[in-house]
A and B are shown apart, each in its own frame.
Chain A
């Protein structure tokens, strides 16, 4: 049972990552690789701040800001420097690796015995892993409220329009470069926040913890879409969170089958690949039905003409 609780808690915390990805990958339709840098930079900044005696709440906010700065760097390289967004993200992600080593001073910093958002006395009364669920729900709720508000403002609508039809947006006087930068900052801010929370939950930050987070975040987005189908923008944000939880439970289930944690990245990739392929697979089956029907009809008409 506590394994499932832990999976739900992690699903919520990684759900924030998914929401960040949703903003860049889905709304702006950017393949933003910065995420693999903004996630660990959030973790590194948060953990370093906490070990230096800064309050965990402020440290967590710093994680958001650090992630946002990473997004800003990518946004500027892309819009002002005219570097393709994929490459801009890779550049920033690569550079951040060194930044993280500078920030932490070594490749791995532990939070052993340090006070974090997950170590309040309030949680002691609760069963194990409930701290991550409570904190996860709180953060998700806050993110959700802020984002749904933002997306319904004039600015938010201009942001959505930029991702939907950039030429039109520009012809309506929307400063599309600014919208892209805002999108990348906010998106990577949430990714950094997620990194900071995960690091506190795991009890350490590691320079390599960004590896593969795109797959985790995209899995949340895509599973949410596959499971829930056609939704409004607000519902889609919630679907990402549920997608993230479902993904964690699937991973838990696979690990229970006897795979070990070294196989995790392979399994993650396979789960995402299957989710991504599901529309194609569905289409393929429908196609077969269509072919069958087409053949049948053809035979009928053939029969009619021979008569």
Chain B
């Protein structure tokens, strides 16, 4: 592949001070993500997966190293500034939506991701049809709850809404942080199918953290395995296709030992 990477991490290290002792949560990570990549990320607890996302989204500034987005150095950009390019869905359904605002209001907020917000009327009614269309994609009744405060939705509906919100503004990079983990198995599988469908239809570049070995193997064109702050394995599409769940379990057993 000789395309230009969409996201580049050069020697990114994150160090925290824990009781007088410096601990590297990420150790000199080098990573290139190309446009259209759908990368699944596995790793034990504490491997640094969430920290990796926090550094990419700008929630955390790396201790050292450089982050490039579309060739531009964004290492010093705030989270608000990077929101123009990056959207994120969290594990906790409560984090992704404003509970007292309605489904429609939330989606409208998300459509203006990273844009200037001034004293112009929001025009919710005029855009309703378009927003409802976007909500009906997931086929779980969200479109009928346009005026419901999101605090009254089920966890599954809230996560679906969070995902719709994240993709509706067509971000350059989509970060999914175990976004199906808090849901029951059936809802989780539905959301995962929908996620995969949206990503391929809109040709989004996506990083997805998951603890489901099956999902990690079944979806995406690349698989990263993180261990102790480093990228332990980086499988491309062909090698990933030959991996079995047993290989992965074996890896986790040795990582924990």
Contact = CB atoms under 8 A, between A and B. Distances in A.
Interface of A: 149-150, 152-158, 160-161, 164-165, 167-176
A152 B112 CA distance: 14
A161 B119 contact: no
Determine the interface band of chain B, counting residues with CB < 8 A from chain A: 20 to 34
Given A157-B122, A161-B109, A168 B117 contact: no
Contact of A174 (B99, B108, B117): B117
Given A152-B122, A157-B108, A164 B98 contact: yes
Contacts of B100: 160, 164
Given A160-B101, A165-B97, A165-B98, A172 B113 contact: yes
B115 A165 contact: no
B79 interface: yes
B114 A173 contact: yes
B57 A153 contact: no
B119 A172 contact: no
Give chain A's interface secondary structure class.
Answer: helix
Contacts of A171: 57, 79, 83, 87-88
B113 A173 contact: yes
B119 A150 contact: yes
Nearest to A173: B83
A157 B120 CA distance: 11
B43 interface: no
Nearest to A159: B117
A153 B79 contact: no
Given A172-B114, A173-B113, A176-B80, 19 more contacts: A153-B118, A154-B118, A154-B120, A154-B122, A155-B118, A157-B122, A160-B101, A161-B98, A161-B101, A165-B94, A165-B98, A165-B99, A169-B98, A170-B83, A171-B79, A171-B83, A172-B109, A173-B112, A174-B109
B220 interface: no
Contacts of A174: 80, 109, 117
A175 B82 CA distance: 12
B47 interface: no
Nearest to B95: A167
B53 to A, nearest CB: 11
A87 to B, nearest CB: 25
9 contacts: A152-B124, A153-B119, A155-B117, A157-B122, A161-B98, A165-B99, A171-B57, A172-B113, A172-B114
